[in-house]
Amino acid sequence: MQPQNILNADLHCHSVVSDGTLTPEALAERAKKNGVELWALTDHDEIAGQQRAAAAAQALGLAYLTGTEVSVTFAGETVHIVGLGFDANNAAITQGLHSTRNGREQRAREMAASLASVGIAGAYEGALKFVGNPDLISRTHFARFLVESGVCRETNEVFRKYLTEGKPGYVPHRWASLRDALSWITQAGGVAVIAHPGRYSFTPNEEYALFTEFKAHGGQAVEVITGSHTKAEFVKYAETAREFGLAASRGSDFHSPDESHTDLGALPFLPGDLQPVWELLAERILR
């Protein structure tokens, strides 16, 4: 195994700036305490936490890469694209993310109306109590409200019974295109990464199309080791990385001490023969 691969990098997690429950500063401390050596905060469709995260990491002597997780619609499904190592002041990415956040407010009101129609009242106001950033109301905030109000025991149960396709509270939404998301990230000097490919319900043909188009638009990496993958998926997506000539990333997707089963930094190392995404980003690491 190359020494570069034996790095406790955690390049995927969420703060109160999107749907996590910890502040960027608390996440930096938790990452450091858990032995993380290279960290990125990747809030959904939002980079307002980047300065705080970078400053907190620097104060702790923790190497840092800028990050975000962009919501994309591809072949009728939502796909997440992580961006790493971009310039957080670049207009292409700040404006692109701003435009894609816009639809969330209206979607949230429609979600609440749908929940009200099955007897769950006040969900919009209820979800808002859990929102740390008014620009970023997400299904996770509704899930926390449904747990708090006793409708479900835990957030996983909420997503099984509500808020997903075919269930009450689900509102279809068109996110950014794959091409736009990649152009925002690459124009800002970053590297684009397909997040948790094992989570999508694509046919093999659709998945092949996703990886092919991702590469054609300048995508360079895929999450192989993520808190969202099983051990079998570690193996499967390591093989996909080899097949498509993509670098590999590693991230917990940590959201909350109470909800997440994979803590910051608590993951196996990358397979030794894959190129770590941080090798492509050596110049962009903040120390």
Question: Which residues of this protein are in contact with Mn ion, per CB under 5 A?
Answer: 19, 69, 80, 195, 253
Instruction: State the number of binding residues for ligand AMP (CB under 6 A).
Output: 10
Query: By the 8 A CB rule, do 53 and 28 touch?
Result: yes
Closer residue to ligand AMP, CB minimum distance, 159 or 211: 159
Query: By the 8 A CB rule, do 194 and 219 touch?
Result: yes
217, interface contact from ligand AMP, Mn ion, none, CB < 5-8 Å by kind: none
What does the block give as tokens for 158?
Answer: 């909420």
Q: CB 102 → ligand AMP: shortest distance, Å?
A: 13
Hey, which residues between 220 and 259 contact ligand AMP (CB under 6 A)? 255
Closest listed residue to residue 4, CA positions, set 229, 248, 199, 253: 248
Q: Rule CB under 6 A: say whether 100 interacts with ligand AMP.
A: no
Hey, which residues between 199 and 218 contact ligand AMP (CB under 6 A)? none
Closer residue to ligand AMP, CB minimum distance, 10 or 19: 19
Give the binding range for ligand AMP (CB under 6 A) out of 114-122, 123-131, 134-142, 202-210. 134-142
DSSP 254: B
Q: Rule CB under 6 A: say whether 29 interacts with ligand AMP.
A: no
Q: CB 49 → ligand AMP: shortest distance, Å?
A: 15
Q: Rule CB under 6 A: say whether 19 interacts with ligand AMP.
A: yes
Q: CB 28 → Mn ion: shortest distance, Å?
A: 17
For ligand AMP, the binding residue among 5, 15, 90, 140 (CB under 6 A) is 140
**Longest alpha-carbon distance in the chain:** 56
Q: CB 139 → ligand AMP: shortest distance, Å?
A: 4
Alpha-carbon distance 96 to 169, whole Å? 27
Q: CB 128 → ligand AMP: shortest distance, Å?
A: 14
DSSP 276: B
DSSP 270: P
Hey, which residues between 38 and 67 contact ligand AMP (CB under 6 A)? 44
Alpha-carbon distance 83 to 184, whole Å? 9
Residue-wise DSSP of 158-216 = HHHHSSSTTSTT------B-HHHHHHHHHHTT-EEEE--GGGS---HHHHHHHHHHHHH
Q: CB 255 → ligand AMP: shortest distance, Å?
A: 6
Q: CB 159 → ligand AMP: shortest distance, Å?
A: 3
Alpha-carbon distance 255 to 154, whole Å? 14
What does the block give as tokens for 262?
Answer: 């994979």
275, interface contact from Mn ion, ligand AMP, none, CB < 5-8 Å by kind: none
> How far out from the chain centre does Cα 84 lie?
11
Question: Which H or E run includes 79?
Answer: strand 77-84
Identify residue 165 by its one-letter amino acid code. E
Give the binding range for ligand AMP (CB under 6 A) out of 86-94, 151-159, 182-190, 242-250. 151-159
The residues that touch ligand AMP, with contacts defined as CB under 6 A, are: 19, 44, 71, 138-140, 155-156, 159, 255
